[in-house]
Amino acid sequence: MEKVPDWALRSGEGTDGAPTVAETAVVRSPDPIRGEVVKAFVALAPQFLSHDLDELTKELQQHVKSVTAPYKYPRKMEFVLDLPKIITGKIQQVKLRVKEWKRSGQIGAQ
Tell me: pLDDT of 17 over 70: no
* Terminal-to-terminal C-alpha distance of the chain: 13
b/e burial code for range 15-50 (CB count within 10 A of at least 16 → b): beebebbebbbbbbbbbeeeebbbbbbbbbeeebee
Q: Which of 61, 46, 54 is nearest to 15 (CA)?
A: 61
Task: Please state the domain extents for the chain.
Answer: 6-109
Residues 71-106: tens digit of each pLDDT: 888 999 999 999 999 999 998 989 999 999 898 776
Residues 30-48: tens digit of each pLDDT: 988 988 888 999 999 888 8
Cβ atoms 91, 84 nearer than 8 A = yes
pTM over 0.85: no
CATH code of the region 6-109: 3.30.300.30
